[in-house]
Structure 1
Amino acid sequence: MKWMTRPAVGMTAFLLVSPVVADESELATLKKQLQALTERYMAQQEATAQLEARLRRQEALTAPQGSNWPLVGNWPARGGREGLIRTAETRAAQADFDGSRPSSTGNGEVIRQAPQSASAQAVYQEQSGGIFGDARKFTIETGLNYSHYNTRQLALNGFLALDAIFLGNINVDRIRANVLTWDTSLRYAYSDRLQFDLSVPVVYRQTTYESGGAGGGASTLSEATVTRSPRIGDINVGMYYKLLAESATLPDVVWNVRLKGPTGKHPYGIKMVDNANNNNLKTPTELPTGNGVWSLSSGVSLVKTIDPAILFANFSYFHNFSRHFDDISSTQGQVVPGRIKLGDSFQWGVGMAFAMSERSSLSFSFSQLLSARASTQADGGTKNRIVGSNANAASFNIGLTHALSDRSTMVTSLGIGLTPDAPNFSVGVKFPYSF
């Protein structure tokens, strides 16, 4: 009987152990399946939260100021959902800031960061000089600028007696000039980095010359006004190329090259005539609308967005080519052919702009233009540098940019002269329109 007892006990143990082993194997499989489903569910939840966070940000940017548009996320907070959304918002913002992951708009367009306001985009285009980011985009810009000059010069010809009494001639000269320029510019973005433009100015000028000495009296003043009817100025063409796109630490860097042609009326050979009532007063027979020479310039523009401000700076160098003219003399009855070489110039400027609202921005800037002396050389003669032809023109500028619509913008500016060579003030307005 003993030999029958052991097999029975073994069979009983087998029957008792087998179901247990099967249950543990099935449990491990179920655990793996549950873990995979849980991970998949969490990934879907995180992706949904990230999408919702981005949609919240997009609606917040596009909602009109002061509106009561409801934002996405009306679901009640359940469990850790709001925490998950906040985490997703943080991750999305960090990814957009460092450029590690592009985001996507509703129409499938991939962007690196949330779209800027319309006013910020207008300021960026104004300071960088380009419509970058929109390949095959065409823009036409019309603008009107008014500049006023008022200069005085005191000429003394004599000597001081007893350190208090001046003996001799005193001549007071004053020049008041008004320049009105209507400018039309065409811009074409060949790609998101390369742009070409063409600018055609039409210039109207009026200058009043005033001098003492009329009728032989030093205190008696006389004046004469010369007007230049609207005429085309110097046409110029340019190319802009974005060397470096803005990142978290670096600004946008745009390189530009411009060529200006002598299409306007040049000032060389214009004769000076004596005033009938004052031998001290001489006025030109007409006024120029251009400088008469070819000019090539190159420079860079730097633009950095630091919410809510935009910082910008620009540097340019202008080279004027020498040119020969049939007459360079201003004396009546005299014709002197010769060559003119205007001095090269360097211009720089810095400033910042602040977005006051979704559509309006205010900017402040300083600019300075330094010009070298010009020179003349009559045929067969020696080169002569013109004393006083060098210039230092500095101005402080205030601008207001307002986005009228998605396609049109109004840019207004006020310039205040800080040096005698700069206009006393200038006022301008222009309207870029994009197609």
Structure 2
Amino acid sequence: MHHFAYRRGVSQANVLHAEQVDLCALAAEVGTPFYCYSTATFERHLDVFADAFAARPGTLVCYSIKANSNLGVLATLARRGAGMDVVSEGEIRRALAVGVPGERIAFSGVGKTKDEMAFALDAGIFAFNVESEPELRALSQVASAMGKTARIAFRVNPDVDAGTHHKISTGKAENKFGIAFELAPSLYRQATQLPGIVPSGIHMHIGSQITDLTPFRNAFALLKELVETLRSSGLRIEFVNLGGGLGIPYRSDEPAPPLPADYARLVNEAMGDLNVRLLFEPGRMIAGNAGILVSRVLYVKTAPEKTFTIVDAAMNDLIRPTLYEAYHQILPVIEPGPDTESRFTDVVGPVCETGDYLALARPLPALNAGDLIAVMTAGAYGAVQASQYNSRLLVPEVLVSGEQYCVTRPRPSYESMLAAERVPDWFQG
């Protein structure tokens, strides 16, 4: 569910609104392209997920910052009690900046540096999700040198195929993430012998945009087996981090993915008698449908083979269609009438790449130069992956709450873009 819908606008036409904000009016104020996020949608998604586990006291929902790291978004979730899943020092700093206490932060990622480890230890984070033996030894060195103790969970790779796009699969043996399932017992034994390390949990995350519960069921069965094996050898396993990955609907013509309540029933079946604290890392499920990208049509170009709708948003603003062959629904911001002609078109941007597109061969109501479109379900992995390719300015991000809105990341100027770089001194004068 999201809070973007057509309603009577300032112009008296039916206009797509973000909560109670007219997107035509917002575009006139902010300029296009821009990302727009709905506070009510973020709050609802977090609440629905957390409520599904309300019967399990101590459950910690750590929003995955990499999905959308906008400070306005993080502040919204922090004030609802969310923890944060981070993969860099920068993300830790973002979490702390919006008031998330260290004990609600879990640190993931395969390439943590020693400086990042030290910063995380100083911040008093809940746990490190360790992904290799070399990382374990580095963390031990850092923690013992600082006189601190690092609570850890090994990220275990169960070699389970989640059936998703190969670029977002994380739980198969050939993926870079985690340690092999069969190596886990020996690595946990090593961890107990290292200074500054307290092995307390197990972490597992098998991929993203998973729309079938079967891979979760298979992975959780293996995880339960491992918990029992480790406990039988004398280890105290106090928490289990089950990761994220629950899919969301990008298309209206496909079956809806499982609801958080369905997922919770599966988790309780798999973990019910283990007496462990549960952690989760939802990202896309919280952020995906809470954001859109608004763009303006520049030109409509008719070629012998096809029609191109050229808009002012591009692959550097939203790379998912190019990178993942991802589908995003596209809606005209002004609702078309029932008799509006539809035509197949490629929706493309100004970047000098053939791969610069938002949609291919998409049947859309006839669009003209100046019209606004909304690229839906763009709240996750949209702005966070944006770049300045072709020296294009990063687009602003706007957070809406009821009738209010805030430009939480303004559009930079060309002057500020150039000022971030320097010409070598030997060219001066």
Q: TM-score, normalised by structure 1?
A: 0.24
More relative contact order, 1 or 2 (CA 8 Å, 6+ apart): 2
Which is higher, the Rg of structure 1 or of structure 2?
1
Which structure carries more strand by proportion? 1
Which structure carries more helix by proportion? 2
Q: TM-score, normalised by structure 2?
A: 0.24
